């Protein structure tokens, strides 16, 4: 009886899925119009398993791009001047309308210090603000003028 229970637990745990997001911490900036810059950051998500099919051990990997539109890439840019979009393979382009915080540029480095709203139910008023999951320091590379959204 005890051995059967242990086997069932092992089977249950092996059929559970896992999910992981890994940012690249590289940022690419491009001037797309006078006084308007587009910055691209990327992360990959990987997961193993499937809730609807037990014992699915395939690994799935998706890439995601996040774009920030800012008026400059020097000094500090505050949230009121930042537009944020995420482009995923699965969901397409998602616009992030509300932000708090800032982006700080230091030579060839960019530091994200942003907060995103969290809502309760169908409310349109944020109940709390959480740090953006990929806040931190990025290596910043300046590229020739063209839209980064054309890369994919």
Contacts 24+ apart (CB under 8 A), 117-126: 126/98
Q: Is residue 152 domain-resident?
A: no
Position 152 confidence tier, pLDDT thresholds 50, 70, 90: very low
Print the domain residue range for 87. Answer: 2-144
Q: Is residue 151 domain-resident?
A: no
What is the C-alpha separation between 44 and 60, in angstroms, rounded? Answer: 10
What is the C-alpha separation between 59 and 88, in angstroms, rounded? Answer: 18
What's the structural domain count of the chain?
Answer: 1
Cα dist. 149→9, 104, 136 in Å?
46, 22, 23
Q: Is residue 119 domain-resident?
A: yes
What is the arithmetic mean of pLDDT over 54-76? 83
* pTM, entire model: 0.74
Per-residue model confidence as pLDDT tens digits over 4-38: 655 555 555 555 557 788 888 999 999 999 999 99
């Amino acid at each position: 009886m005890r051995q059967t229970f242990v086997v069932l637990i092992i089977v249950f745990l092996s059929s559970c899925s896992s999910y992981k997001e890994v940012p690249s911490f590289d940022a690419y900036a491009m001037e797309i119009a006078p006084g308007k810059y587009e910055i691209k950051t990327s992360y990959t998500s990987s997961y193993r398993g499937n809730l609807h099919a037990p014992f699915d051990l395939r690994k799935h990997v998706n890439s995601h791009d996040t774009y920030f539109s800012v008026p400059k890439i020097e000094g500090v840019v505050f949230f009121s001047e930042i537009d944020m979009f995420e482009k995923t393979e699965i969901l397409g382009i998602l616009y992030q309308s509300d932000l708090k915080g800032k982006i700080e540029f230091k030579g060839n480095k960019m530091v994200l210090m942003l907060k995103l709203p969290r809502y309760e139910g169908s409310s349109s008023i944020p109940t709390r603000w959480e740090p953006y999951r990929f806040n931190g320091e990025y290596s910043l590379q300046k590229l020739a003028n063209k839209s980064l959204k054309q890369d994919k």
